Amino acid sequence: MREKSKIKSLELATKVIHIGGEPDKETGAVTAPIYQTSTYVQKSPGKTKGYEYTRTHNPTRTRLEDCLASIEKGRYALATSSGLSANMLIMQVLPPGQTVICGDDVYGGTYRMFTKVFHQTHNFIFTDTTDLKNVQYLIKKHRPALLWLESPTNPLLKISDIEKLSGFAKKHNCLTVVDNTFMSPYFQNPLKLGADIVVHSLTKYINGHSDVVAGGLILNSKKLYDKLWFLQNSTGPTQSPFDSWLILRGLKTLAVRMKKHEENALEIAHFLNKHSKVENVIYPGLSSHPQHALAKRQTSGHGGMLTFYLKGGLRASRTFLSSLDIFSLAESLGGVESLIEHPAIMTHASVPKKIREKLGIQDNLIRVSVGIEDSKDLIKDLKNGLAKI
């Protein structure tokens, strides 16, 4: 392992290849091996080489966690079996009866977990976290244990001031969690902005190839890490060796992929913004985005996610989505291929209709995960689909 001082000085594009990707000590293999084992031989009872059972620790998963911690500029990381299992571990750390303030426009699975699973043991307040003064008021009034942020949010791409909110939360003994899935560590590092825990669906940009379901937690507190690790080891939502290896492989191209995702997304945003059948485009890289100035200050880029409203209702949306050839109509995001979906019917169907409509998740809202194909082909596909409405 390289000296820590040298590791810190590396840029992300180098880290994703070399941190966790060191040649195998036993054979010299350049590509990290997959330790596809459930258990490990002990020299004598209780005397191990650092590993005893793969639910607890695994060398391939350790490599992945080292890399995750490094690129998110944290000290500790846990790789979990899914993004939602990472969320679950955080919630299990909180003592019963605690209050959580959560963004009102979060991933539908997160909303479902909070309102259908943990609602009997914890109190949840959903609010627009872009409203700094209102969040500060709620923190003062309710004294929450946790502030849960998505920035940008899913699917409306609202951006919260992580630094100011985290700073205020700390003054009131409130932990801040930031779901950084949409931005990836390439464009944003919430821990450097004051957050206590960063959560990722590793399924998305970090893996980048739509062939793994996984989650990750990155943080700096040893005390909190130990609690989360104990819960993970006790309840079992760990990442398998093979999936850990796949994510390590996907991570190697994170930097080049994110550049292309952003480049394509910006071109498509400009195209849609000028189209007569599009009502409104939401993309942080456009000057029309309500938090564009904050996005420029808080992130180093704007990512590959965009949403837009079609002129027309559900019928127009169905016609458009069913007419595309290159864009795949599918849930999830962050893969090399372009995906497109209808949040009200698909990813956010678990959010009650009244709440969806209040947030702006209407029947004409389309969410796009822009891939890394040639942008000319992607725009041509969208143009053909819009012509069918």
Active-site option among 204, 252, 257, 260: 204
- CA dist 353 and 362 (Å) reads 9
Q: Is 318 a catalytic residue?
A: no
- CA dist 157 and 149 (Å) reads 12
Among 107, 287, 279, 97, smallest CA distance to 203 is for 107
- CA dist 63 and 6 (Å) reads 17
Q: Is 51 a catalytic residue?
A: no
Q: Is 204 a catalytic residue?
A: yes
How does DSSP classify residue 120?
Answer: T
Q: CB burial class (10 A; 0-12, 13-18, 19+) of residue 150?
A: buried
Active-site option among 35, 107, 186, 309: 107
CA dihedral 16, 20, 23, 29 (to 10 degrees): -90
- CA dist 63 and 251 (Å) reads 12
Active-site option among 55, 75, 164, 277: 55
Active-site option among 104, 105, 179, 381: 179
Distances in Å between the Cα of 167 and the Cα atoms of 35, 74, 147, 180, 183 are 41, 17, 11, 18, 21
Contact status, residue 61 vs residue 81, Cβ threshold 8 Å: no
For 74-142, strand residue ranges (E) read 76-80, 99-103, 123-127
Q: Which residues are catalytic?
A: 55, 107, 179, 204
